[in-house]
Amino acid sequence: MKYLVLCLTLLITLIFTGCSHTTELIKNYPPPNETDANYSVTYYIHADADYLYHTPDGDRVSGNSEVLTTAMEVGEAAHSGEVFIYHQRPEKKLLGLFPQRKSRLFHYKNGQLIRKVKYRHPDKKEVFLATEAQLINQYRTRNRTNDHQNYFLYFGHEIPSESDKSYNRSLPGIEVNVVSFAKGIQNFLLSDRDRFDLVVLSTCNNGTPAMAKLLMPFTDVMLASPQNLHLSHIDSERMTFLEMEPEISPLQLGHSIAEQTFQRLERTVHTTITLALYEFEKVRNYINSLASVTAANINTDRSVQFNDNVDCAELFFPDSASYRNGVETWYKPARFGRKSERSAHSGWGCKPVLEN
Amino acid sequence: MKTLYTILASILFACTIQTAAFAQSADVTETFKKHFNETVQKVQDTDKADEKRAILNESFNKMLTAIDRIESKATLTEDEIANLNSYKLDLTEKLNELNGLDGFDEIMDEDLDDFSEYSQDFMEQANRTITIGVTTALLILIILLLL
């Protein structure tokens, strides 16, 4: 009888602990020398898929763990800012029944880790980034300086133009595509008038007219890769420049991040390297025309989304410089392959036109 | 006592089901990456160009055969088929380039190490992951094929 009571107690405890989708592990606020936040940095580190890669020494890295380490260093250095780091990990159930909170939110304020939250997604078909947006709106400080800046950094696989159920291995019901992504990160802003000073997309193939057009209404500068990007991702250590050089502009910061990343990749990978920094104030003047031109010949065959991008200029504007204003590119062709002789890139990525 | 055994058996059964369900979705790309990393190590461990070339040829052919097995034995969605086809095309391109076929110049002996690293870099890009529903038996077959 007492064993039955013990088992039932254990079962009820497991049920109740599984009900809430968040748990705070660390609660240490307000920090001792709290000041208004000069800037907010949000990292979204996707880990619910295969992110295994090997360093030049042959060591294995998985789950975007190195990105997380760097993000935490940025958080610890953010003495005048606020940093949110989401590490979205595969969701599992204990004994196949009790949902576990495997994802983590690390909240830094004035260089201190003030909150560590375990969370899961209570609605397996929720809007992309809904839970994460809810958390930031719950925990963020309202005490900001007048010239407060917003930065968003996304690390993951290519965000597809059409929903791909395999994007989140354990959450196939969440629709992930460029539209849901743009709507999702907009919910991280404090108000409709708030904007991102810089959005960094550390993914393959998202330096595209479509993505630029979607982010432009609420973003000033975007750093992305028009084609493939190695899984070692874009380096983000230069985010610490927000402390060392407070007057740095988002464009200068984006340039510095791209420069550091390009120099590392140039030394370590043999595949194509393309990075592009988009200044939307200038791109705005022609984005509708560019989006229209590049959408004109879109192949309706869904299989094309599994192909890598090519330079849009190859397909749509080979001799024109019209669509390069406001775009700074870093490019190195692959060491091997059919395009190893190319020397430049427009900064815009397009899916190839498949031959019938 | 009987009730306790019943509860424990139910929990064990739930664990087994959960384990089996998890194994139904196999990450094929991770398996290929691990295999190819071993290929790169073997290529770099030998000084003989013909051995390097043979190792690379065998590795690409094994992965292509594994994809053929998956396509013939697993129940795949349209997207999974398209994703695998794209991956297969990429591997075929690497094989052709290695051997100087389909308009490529053959990779020179002194470039074989770099070509193996290039091929690995290509697989470790942030554009795709292939997670498909395969049985544990098929996953084991794939892994054995790659050994």
Which of A2, A233, A271, A308 is the best mutation test for B, with the most CBs of B within 10 A? A271
Per CB-CB distance under 8 Å, the chain A contacts of B7 are 4, 7
Judge whether B127 and A204 are in contact, CB under 8 Å: yes
Which of B36, B117, B121 is the best mutation test for A, with the most CBs of A within 10 A? B121
C-alpha to C-alpha distance for A96 and B12, rounded to whole angstroms = 10
8-state DSSP, A239: G
Per CB-CB distance under 8 Å, the chain A contacts of B121 are 230, 269-271
Point out which residues pair with A40 in neighbouring strands: A82, A150
Among chain A residues, CA nearest to B97: A337
Per CB-CB distance under 8 Å, the chain B contacts of A93 are 18
B99-122 tens-digit pLDDT:
999 999 999 999 999 999 999 998
C-alpha to C-alpha distance for A71 and B147, rounded to whole angstroms = 37
Cα dihedral sign, B32-B38-B39-B41: positive
pLDDT band per the 50, 70, 90 thresholds, residue A125? very high
Higher-scoring residue by pLDDT: A355, A167: A167
C-alpha to C-alpha distance for B138 and B89, rounded to whole angstroms = 22
pLDDT band per the 50, 70, 90 thresholds, residue B21? very low
Residue A32 sits at the chain B interface (C-beta within 8 Å): no
Among chain B residues, CA nearest to A307: B86
ipTM of the complex: 0.85
C-alpha to C-alpha distance for A30 and A107, rounded to whole angstroms = 12
- Name the percent of chain B in helix, strand, coil, to the closest 5: 75, 5, 20
Q: Which residue in the block uniquely carries the two structure tokens 């340039």?
A: A255
Q: H-helix or E-strand containing B98?
A: helix B78-99
A245-299 tens-digit pLDDT:
999 999 999 999 999 999 999 999 999 999 999 999 999 999 999 999 888 766 6
Q: Kindly list the distances between the CA atom of residue A286 and the CA atoms of A209, A210, A282, A329, in Å, as whole numbers in the listed order.
A: 10, 13, 8, 18
C-alpha to C-alpha distance for A306 and A351, rounded to whole angstroms = 9
Among chain A residues, CA nearest to B107: A336
Residue A177 sits at the chain B interface (C-beta within 8 Å): no
Q: Which residue in the block uniquely carries the two structure tokens 């994007």?
A: A167
Q: How much is the average pLDDT of A190-205?
A: 95
**A 124-153 → B contacts, CB under 8 A:** none
Which of A5, A10, A52, A165 is the best mutation test for B, with the most CBs of B within 10 A? A52
- Tally A–B CB contacts below 8 A: 127
**A 219-278 → B contacts, CB under 8 A:** 228-231, 233, 269-271
Point out which residues pair with B70 in neighbouring strands: none
Burial A194-203 (b: 16+ CB within 10 A, else e): eebbbbbbbb
pLDDT band per the 50, 70, 90 thresholds, residue A316? confident
Look at A203 and B126 and tell me if their CB atoms are within 8 Å: yes
Residue B48 sits at the chain A interface (C-beta within 8 Å): no
pLDDT at A13 over 80: no
C-alpha to C-alpha distance for A21 and B82, rounded to whole angstroms = 36
Higher-scoring residue by pLDDT: A85, A303: A85
Look at B129 and A4 and tell me if their CB atoms are within 8 Å: no
Q: Kindly list the distances between the CA atom of residue A253 and the CA atoms of A110, A241, A269, A332, in Å, as whole numbers in the listed order.
A: 20, 7, 24, 21
Point out which residues pair with A85 in neighbouring strands: A43, A106
Residue B6 sits at the chain A interface (C-beta within 8 Å): no
Look at B129 and A49 and tell me if their CB atoms are within 8 Å: yes
Look at B121 and A3 and tell me if their CB atoms are within 8 Å: no
C-alpha to C-alpha distance for A45 and A154, rounded to whole angstroms = 6
**B 98-117 → A contacts, CB under 8 A:** 103-104, 107, 111, 114-115, 117
Per CB-CB distance under 8 Å, the chain B contacts of A310 are none
Q: Kindly list the distances between the CA atom of residue B30 and the CA atoms of A53, A78, A99, B26, B120, in Å, as whole numbers in the listed order.
A: 9, 35, 25, 9, 12
C-alpha to C-alpha distance for B139 and B32, rounded to whole angstroms = 12
Point out which residues pair with A45 in neighbouring strands: A87, A155
pLDDT at B24 over 60: no
A57-69 tens-digit pLDDT:
889 998 899 999 9
Look at A95 and B126 and tell me if their CB atoms are within 8 Å: no
Per CB-CB distance under 8 Å, the chain A contacts of B10 are none
Look at B122 and A157 and tell me if their CB atoms are within 8 Å: no
Q: Which residue in the block uniquely carries the two structure tokens 């139910």?
A: B10
Higher-scoring residue by pLDDT: A205, B3: A205
Q: How much is the average pLDDT of A221-232?
A: 95
